[in-house]
A and B are shown apart, each in its own frame.
Chain A
Amino acid sequence: MKLFSYAQATKPADAVQLLGAQTQSKFIAGGTNLVDLMKYDVESPDRLVDISQLALTQIDATDKGLRIGALARNSDVAANALVMKQFPLLSEALLAGASPQLRNMATMGGNLLQRTRCHYFYDVSQPCNKRAAGSGCGAIGGYNRIHAILGSSPSCIATNPSDMNVALAALDAVVQVTGPNGSRSIPILDFHRLPGNTPQRDTVLEANELITAVDLPTTAIGGKSHYLKVRDRASYAFALVSVAARLAVENGVVRDVRIALGGVAHKPWRLPDVEKNMVGKPATETTFRSAAKALLAGAQPHEHNAFKIQLAENAIVRALQTVS
């Protein structure tokens, strides 16, 4: 870890200004991920701009649904009555992640920007295109049990480690950001990127943009939801595979469905076409399994993670059975 300077912002616009054009500046809120990365020399900012005092912690009902401030703590969001009533999937996913101590510090914005747990990304002695563009991918040909089976590229097979992001993907969340050129709204499916040949960029967020809120639109058709997380121990482990599922069934027939997968790709994995295809079909294991297979079509395993294909298929079926 190298020495850095520190400044505290009181308004979003000031935060953006304080960050300035310096690429070696970083926002810090809960710090649950950034401080770890700094300790491992994965991130070496010269300057930290503390945004934790900005008034972005509110959780408010809007005419379209719910707006959650970017600095709302994960634990507060998970326990919020509006969230629990309207979007229990988000609450469930948040509580499946990290530990109470971490959730007490971690924010919505920070969780959206959580970086991969790829071993090679974390170890600066090893090659990693995400950390050091052009240095190669250590995970390909290395130890890749936790890595991606979908949407990866020859330059990166890392996964997004967040549970929350998977739920947000199934909830059609919209990320609100502000920057030097004003504010914009980014649908969650467009927010995170696939690696391609620029894996150093996890999201479409520009370097000096600040996340201000996450909007959750009320669903047109009600239904049930479930976040299923498969991991190596009962708590405090990243997902090997996770499924955020929402399903509305009427008379035994699928009326509406969302399925997002975690632990399998560089971003939460959702295929809206597969979901559309399910509508009108009987809510049975056959339908669920064929949707699962369609979601996983084109999966490419590496040496240690082939099990994820079968596991994801079983997990999708189980999650949908749980809510059908």
Chain B
Amino acid sequence: MWVASRELATRWCVANSRQALSLVLDKISTLVWCLIQPMTFKNMAKKLLGDPINRVDGALKATGRARYSADIKRPGMLHGVLVMSTIANGKITAIDTADALKVPGVVNVMSHQNAPKLAGMDKNKPSEIATDRVLHVFQDDLVHYNNQPIAMVLAETLEQATEGASLVRVTYQTQPVKLPLPAGKADMSTPKQMPRVDDQVDTKRGDLAAGLAAAINRMEETYTTPTMNHNALEPHALLAYWEGDKLTMYNATQGISGCQKRVAEIFGMPKENVRVITQFLGGGFGSKGTTFSHVMLAPMAAKLTGKPVRLVLKREQMFGMVGNRSATVQRLNLATGKDGKLLATAHHSITQTSDFDEFAEPAGTITRMLYACPNLDTTHKFIRANIGTPAPMRAPGEAPGVFALESAIDEMAAQLRMDPLAFRLANYAETDPNKDKPFSSKSLRECYRQGAERFGWSKRPAQPRSLKNGNYLRGMGMATTVYPMNRGESTALVRLKPDGTVQVETATQDLGTGTFTIMTQIAAEVFGLSPDQVTLSAGDSIYPTSSVSGGSRNTASTGSAVTQAAQEVLKKARQMALKDPKSPLFNVAEAEIVVQKGGQLQQKSNPKVGEALTSLLKRNGNKPLEATVQSKQGDEKGKYSMNAFGAVFAEVEVDELLGEVRVTRLLGSFAAGRIVNLKTARSQVLGGMVWAVSMALHEKTVFDPRNNRVMNANLAEYHVPVNADIQEIDGFFIEEADDIVNPAGVKGIGEIGVVGTVSAIANAIYHATGRRFRDLPITVDKVLA
């Protein structure tokens, strides 16, 4: 019965239809379902919701044995402490280092007066890659923003370097300061490109004016979001040392390979001479994806002093030189017809960049594709301010942009007296209206349905201000969430050893999300092995080049490379078997050979015929089989629109007399292709939702209005939620098979938890109070009635 059922299931699975499969499953027993479960898709099991195994490095982290970049030591190492500018615009006229150099143990002070000259300074400009930014590496005397690194004190101990840094006296010639948003709205210009170069800066679809004219209901509102800073728990840190012309860096980076390339090109040296190692990362959220100035300053100081140099940024130094999320001012127009269908949408975004570099927060890109709407305009403009250059920060563009869009959608639903979820369903985009292409998969309806059911959305009264709990008004809100599937180039080597274990090599870093764990799971699954039979060598640029951990792309990118390399090895094993007269699989057609649990090759139509991969390899020279695959996007990108979708539901309580908002319940449902590890994946979406609570209610970088100095550059006053702010929270995944999207079958999950959640909370506050908050964060002073 098992065999027969499995064959039946396999046949259906090749047809690759969940619906068809479930029809089959209805007819067979639960016991059999258990037996056939690993065989769900195609010829090798690809579980749609992967095993929630513990992190491979969990014990190391929990016991403090994980060595982060700031933990690495070298004999003779010097400690660097940065001196930061205290003006926002001008020129350094003098740097007095006399007192600093008198501190015992201080060996040098590096500044523009003595810093090594860099051969690749012509490359110190923004490139097409969003993470290549203009760096401040002490090559001139100009100050472009407050808290810009301008000197570095080097000493034998951290304490000596710290004291020395406090004694460097700098004098300046100051220039008038260009203010950030919302004040500095003069001199707007159109960015040359968006961070994702495929995204157009401005778009037009249909005829907006005609759509507006034909509409019955219209709304226009402006939404504003503040500047924010990433604030990963782990500060930016590196140890750099030279051996001849070879540079080694233990660096906290989200992109080992990108960092290696960027450092090499600015030093003007071959990439091969730079080795970047990132054993563990304590988060980055985008601020470690870009190679920022400190990554050059430590090796420069190592060159200047001839000694290894460790540089760890102080918390306050993380507010300026390592990126920020741009503030936004966004104007939304929506117009609908009689049936509640959108007839016109306009989304005009103003963001900010620095006065020396261009990074355009792509706030309007999601609006182009989220709902069916025939007439649509989106534009992006930015202003220049004396601030550090913005950078991608968890869901760059999507997070502020969808806050505005999904708030506006909620406002229109209220105007129409339609249920907000029903309004969204009425405008469901069956195909991508921006690209005019089908979706590779889209399970948003199912996310809405299951999310609403679990949350109890049907209990939401239509009228705002109708729920109370003591001193609190209670409200429920929801929003759509979405994140594009991004995929970069990654290369992986997979080696199957005669002892049946597998080695994977790829440079990739683990941002803290579980990458190291899920790469082993991906490789193990291809061979039917258990993850503990796979060893991953990663976190080092000596291994094959891999993608950045940013834009939720690493599992799609490096995971695909690992999948393909493993499949390539498996193909070699199949061919070895069918050509080996001693193999039971001799002369069996290649397509007929499948791999089973435990690393067993079998004949598909006759599972009794087969052998273990180990015996095959032992007999064939007892040598490993290996393959290296460079994996990148193919023509599917031109044919399909590929995105993860979800729905987020929020319940809040608001004490209007004290201005207090608490998020009592958050629930997200997500469809993001195959989920490799349910445990780490759930952590990702919950973390994203917590991030959104932060964005909705807490986070704001505050600039002094006179000199653009960040006045809350510490975690006491730059607020993120604490445990007490997070009450009931849950996220779950809808099973979604997508064989188009990439070989790993995955879509990103690192950012989708953030995107819609911000507006779900804001919409719930509206439902509680009847008041609409269009300026983030929604703090006591604004809520106070």
Instruction: Report which A residues bind B (CB closer than 8 A).
Output: 1-3, 41, 117, 119-120, 122-123, 125-126, 138, 141-143, 145-146, 230-238, 240, 307, 310-311, 314-315, 317-318
Residue contact A237 to B166, C-beta cutoff 8 Å: no
Contact pick for A2, options B163, B709, B781, CB 8 Å:
B163
Assess whether B781 is in contact with A307, with CB atoms less than 8 Å apart: yes
Which residues of A have CB within 8 Å of B709? Answer: 123, 125-126
Query: Bound complex: CA of A158 vs CA of B698, how far in Å?
Result: 22
Can you give 9 contacting A-B residue pairs, CB < 8 Å? Answer: A117-B716, A146-B717, A230-B660, A233-B698, A234-B662, A234-B724, A315-B658, A318-B471, A318-B657
A130 CB, nearest partner CB in chain B, Å: 15
Contact of B780 among A126, A232, A235, A318 (CB under 8 A): A232
Secondary structure class of chain A's binding surface, majority of residues: loop
Taking CB atoms, residues of chain B closer than 8 Å to A120 are 711
Which residues of chain B from 768 to 785 have a CB within 8 Å of any chain A CB?
779-781, 784
A122 to B702 CA separation, bound complex (whole angstroms):
15
The yes or no answer to B721 lying at the interface (CB within 8 A) is yes
A237 vs B717: C-alpha distance when bound (angstroms) = 8
Asked if B86 is an interface residue, CB under 8 A from chain A, the answer is yes
Interface 1/0 per residue, B708-724 and A, CB below 8 Å: 01011110110101111
Q: Which residue in B86, B702, B706, B721 is a CB contact (below 8 Å) of A233?
A: B721
User: Whole-angstrom distance between the alpha carbons of A234 and B660 in the complex?
Assistant: 9
- Indicate if the CB atoms of B711 and A233 lie closer than 8 Å: no
Contact B698 A232 (CB under 8 A): yes
- Among B676-721, those with CB < 8 Å from A are 697-698, 702-706, 709, 711-714, 716-717, 719, 721
A contact residues around B657 at 8 Å (CB) = 314, 317-318
B779→A3 contact, CB < 8 A? no
* CB atoms of A143 and B698 under 8 A apart: no
CA distance A273 to B72 in the complex (A): 62
Bound: A91/B101 CA distance, A: 49
The residue on B at minimum CB distance from A144 is: B711
Verify A233–B725 contact, CB threshold 8 A. Answer: yes
Contact A233 B719, beta carbon cutoff 8 Å: yes
Select B658's contact among A117, A126, A145, A230, beta carbons within 8 Å. Answer: A230
Q: Determine whether B352 belongs to the interface, using a CB cutoff of 8 Å to chain A.
A: no
Cα–Cα distance between A314 and B658 once the two chains are bound (Å): 7
Contact pick for A234, options B471, B712, B725, CB 8 Å: B725
Minimum CB–CB distance from B296 to chain A (whole Å) comes to 24
Residues of A within 8 A of B163 (CB): 1-3
Which residues of the partner chain A approach B714 to less than 8 Å between Cβ atoms?
122
Within the assembled complex, what's the spacing in Å between the Cα atoms of A315 and B655? 11
Residue in contact with A318 in the complex, picked from B658, B662, B702, B706, CB distance below 8 Å: B658
Q: How many A-B residue pairs have CB under 8 A?
A: 88
In this assembly, does B162 line the interface, its C-beta being within 8 Å of a C-beta of chain A? Answer: yes
Q: CB of B659 within 8 A of chain A?
A: yes
Known A143-B702, A314-B658: A307·B784 in contact at CB below 8 Å: yes
**Could you tell me if B704 and A143 are in contact, using CB atoms closer than 8 angstroms?**
yes
Task: Given A41-B166, A314-B657, answer yes or no on A232-B712 (Cβ-Cβ < 8 Å).
Answer: no
Is the Cβ of A142 less than 8 Å from the Cβ of B706? yes
B781 and A237 within 8 A (CB)? no
Residues of chain B within 8 A (CB-CB) of A238 are 716
Bound Cα distance from A126 to B160, whole angstroms: 24
Chain B residue with the shortest CB-CB distance to A238? B716
A85 to B103, CA, bound (A): 54
CB nearest neighbor in A for B84: A125
The 4 closest A-B pairs by CB, nearest first: A234-B724, A125-B86, A235-B724, A307-B781
Q: A143-B705, A234-B662, A234-B722 are in contact. Are A311 and B780 (CB under 8 A)?
A: yes
A46, B725: Cα distance in complex, Å = 41
Pair A237/B784 contact, Cβ less than 8 Å: no
Q: Which of B162, B706, B717 has the most chain A CB atoms inside 10 A of its CB?
A: B717
B659 touching A230, Cβ below 8 Å: yes
Name the distance in Å between A192's Cβ and chain B's nearest Cβ: 21
Query: Complex: how many Å from CA A315 to CA B657?
Result: 8
Instruction: State in angstroms the CA–CA spacing of A238 and B159 once bound together.
Output: 29
* Chain B residues positioned under 8 Å from A41 (CB to CB): 166
Pairwise interchain contact A142-B711, C-beta atoms closer than 8 A: yes
Query: CA A322 – CA B657 in complex, angstroms?
Result: 14
CB pair B166 A240 closer than 8 Å: no
Q: Which residues of B lie under 8 Å from residue A232 when comparing CB positions?
A: 698, 719, 779-780
Residue of A nearest to B314 (CB): A39
Q: Which residue of B lies closest to A138 (CB)?
A: B704
Q: Output the least CB separation between A54 and chain B (Å).
A: 27
- Per-position contact with A for B641-682: 1 when CB-CB < 8 Å, else 0? 000000000000000011110100000000000000000000
8 extra interface residue pairs, beta carbon distance < 8 Å, beyond A1-B159, A119-B711, A317-B657: A3-B160, A232-B780, A233-B697, A233-B698, A234-B725, A235-B722, A235-B725, A237-B716
Cα–Cα distance between A119 and B701 once the two chains are bound (Å): 13
Q: Which residues of A contact B662 (CB under 8 A)?
A: 234
